[in-house]
Amino acid sequence: MAPLTRLEAEARSALLDVHHYAIDLDFTRGEDTFASVTTIRFTARRDGDTFAELRPTALRGATLDGRALDPATLADGRLPLSGLTAGTHELRVTADMPYSRTGEGIHRFTDPADGLTYLYSTCFLADCPLVFAAFDQPDLKAVFDVTVTAPEDWTVLGNGSVTPVAGRPGVHRCATTPPISTYLMAVAAGPYHSVRTEHAGLPFGLHVRRSLAEHLDKDADEILDITRRCFDRYHEIFDEPYPFDSYDQAFVPEFNAGAMENPGLVTFREGYIHRSAVTDSQREVRGVVVAHEMAHMWFGNLVTLRWWDDIWLNESFADYLGYQVLTDATEHRPWVEFCTDQKPRGYDADQRGSTHPVAPEPDAVPDTASALLNFDGISYAKGASALRQLVTWLGEDAFLAGVNDHFTRHRFANATLADFVDSMARASGRSVPAWADAWLRTTGPDTLTPQIDASENGEGWRLRLAHAGARPHRLRLGVYDADGAPRARHEIELPAAEGTTEHTFPGPRPDLLVLNDGDLTYAKVRLDPRSWDTAQRVLSDLPEPLTRTVVWNAARDMVRDGELAPAAYLDAARRLLPAEPSTAILEAVVAFARGPVTDRYLTPEQRPAGLAALSDLARDLLGAAVTDPARRLFAARTAIDAATEPGELRSWWEAGTVPGGPVLDPELRWRLLGRLAVLGATTEEEIAAEAARDVTANGEEGAARCRAALPDAAAKEAAWRAMFDPADTLSNYLFAATAQGFWQPEQRDLLARWVARYFPAALGVAARRGHTLGVLAGRQAFPRGFTDAGTLRLGEDTLRRDDLTPALRRPLADQLDDLRRALHVRGR
């Protein structure tokens, strides 16, 4: 299907007003296709031509104002509507539509645990034509009436409350929606297990497939409590009440994103329903996602972007509010996880060649294909960080006043960056347009580097702060003594100009100076040599976790920029983390140490020492004195991932537990068996036995990952064919699992022959299978562990090809940027 261009969308929006969709979906027609009948009422403002989008397996018929249209005119997903006259019209389209295995359109999943089938829709960003005929662009909002026919024992969910149709078994009608965009239409159908309640006069529901019922029931009280608390908090800060008639949250299989904010029916990746033990930070992340998606009911659903250059109006706001509202409404403190995990993704994305402004110029997002690629760490984490800085600058009261003005002026309509900036300026009286130009229209992170001088009499000190970048910043300086005790905090403002500013403060020179203490702005910060020396002694003793996180992030950036040796970072992690109380910090530091540092920045000769350091850390955290289950679970995962010999892992496998805990639940069993596979210490027979023990979708993925990890040429070739053979039998999740298992740094000699094969194979699968598999081929199937000039050259040759799809081009370019950075770090 040809992507919709911005110019086409503007022309169609100038021609049409769309009023109403009546959609009938029949899910009783077999395993391959479903029936879709769409009736659209719209008005043409003048005479003209346009088109509707549809991607069927068969177009059964189409009429415009009762006049038959030729089905043969449907081409490239577009049905021409020629000769429209000014006035009202009705388009009716009947089609057979394809079920999906890639999480796009109507995804169909059969549960291996019990053979039951589940369906759910994903209409985002340009996939609603896989479900119904539409004028598919966000600024042509309309009212939706949806009817679903399904097997009689199925649950049906939609954007509004669902009621059975009297006298028509299996037929369900969803309540009429307010005006919403086409990408937000949603249904789910299947024998879902549900937990229902009511809050604030509205029905609330949680839904999951039946084989996960016990796990949902275990967590339902926690999820519903967070849902109610966040719902109430949004009603405290927003003047506009929740705009829909119900609130369902469905945790669905093989979902591509973390979640999707469909009005009244939020769909989540079902991994948020935990079937195995998790850490406290993992539970906190689930809470953030619940709060994030609820924020979209206002930012995105009530007020919607006009075109996809303004996705930050959806995602940056939902990200900021997700973290802030969970902080306000619960005992969680999720800004630590944001700083440790989410924000580094923004920094990383912002330093690649594919970086883009938070709010790009409209012509920088010329079509829907390019828009899809901008849902990244910049639109989420960097945008949320910019908003946090805006709140710091304006104050929360002025910020919320601007938000509420924005909602009032654009209720159930569309808005742009200019509209939002105008509301903020009206509410605050500040020069928000200048702030927006500096923060939202520019790329790359600023860098702040301190130089500290003590006065001769020791009664004051001077900070010379080098500012590489041109954004204004309001930030906090944390001043700490040699034992880590906080001495003072100072607020400073930096102008929107590159250069060095000087600041003087009373008291003796700091032993540790933390720029951006509290993480209130978005900038890379450096540690002066004395501060880094002090941090290496006292970092885990600093009282505030956000302070510790800012210091760890500074060290992370210094490693990535070639200013701190990777081995020095590993040494600091090994010494400091046993005393670190925050699980979120533990997980983030070790993830960076185990991933980029050990697998890419260290040479193959250095890598065993890096893994040994992480194994020693895990051993400390599994000591008898450590009783916290979250820390022991984290330590067990680290020990498994860093193991270079199978002996201890094999003893845990046979005992079914790590000595002193945790017990090997399904997640840990697959993790451990996967590491044994990498080390050549298991067999196909043992993998098959474990798959028979865990007859679930997770078990299928675990087995695929383990089989692909076996250090055997035949096993590798079988995994390769499964991923890249034109038969294309793998679902999105099984493709990802197989790719994750395939490339292992321990198996470089065995895998070398597949490196050159990867690039044409990825090109082929992206061309055949579309956006989701193209992205997975670039992100998951890239040859990890081959940090060398030859792999870089092959990738650069591929990027020069004209037949590279956008879905593959962006992740492949990002992988090559990361590879260049790794080579630079090694060279330093």
Q: Which residues are the active-site residues?
A: 293
247-252 and 265-269 beta bridge pairing: parallel
Alpha carbon of 299 to those of 229, 242, 243, 295, 415: distances in Å?
18, 11, 11, 6, 10
Q: Which two tokens stand for residue 669?
A: 């069993």
Helix, strand or coil, per DSSP, at residue 312: helix
CA pair distance 608, 383, nearest whole angstrom:
38
Tokens 């060290």 — which residue? Answer: 555
CA pair distance 478, 208, nearest whole angstrom:
46
Neighbours of 466 (CB within 10 A): 14
Q: Which two tokens stand for residue 254?
A: 């093989």
CA pair distance 234, 293, nearest whole angstrom:
12
67-68 and 58-64 beta bridge pairing: antiparallel
DSSP 8-state assignment for residue 708: H
Tell me which H or E stretch contains 289.
helix 280-295
Residue (of 551, 590, 548, 545) closest to 570 by Cα position: 590
Q: Which residues, other chains included, contact 599 with Cβ-Cβ below 8 Å and sequence gap of 6+?
A: 607, 745, 784, 785
CA pair distance 11, 329, nearest whole angstrom:
44
CA pair distance 530, 549, nearest whole angstrom:
18
Q: Which residues, other chains included, contact 338 with Cβ-Cβ below 8 Å and sequence gap of 6+?
A: 288, 323, 381, 384, 519
Tokens 């017990």 — which residue? Answer: 663
Are 706 and 682 spatial neighbours (Cβ–Cβ below 8 Å)?
Answer: yes
CA pair distance 617, 413, nearest whole angstrom:
54
CA pair distance 249, 231, nearest whole angstrom:
13
Report CA 161 to chain centroid distance, whole Å: 28
Are 411 and 404 spatial neighbours (Cβ–Cβ below 8 Å)?
Answer: no
Q: Which residues, other chains included, contact 43 with Cβ-Cβ below 8 Å and sequence gap of 6+?
A: 16, 17, 19, 87, 88, 89
Tokens 């860093």 — which residue? Answer: 642
Tokens 């509410």 — which residue? Answer: 427
Are 513 and 534 spatial neighbours (Cβ–Cβ below 8 Å)?
Answer: no
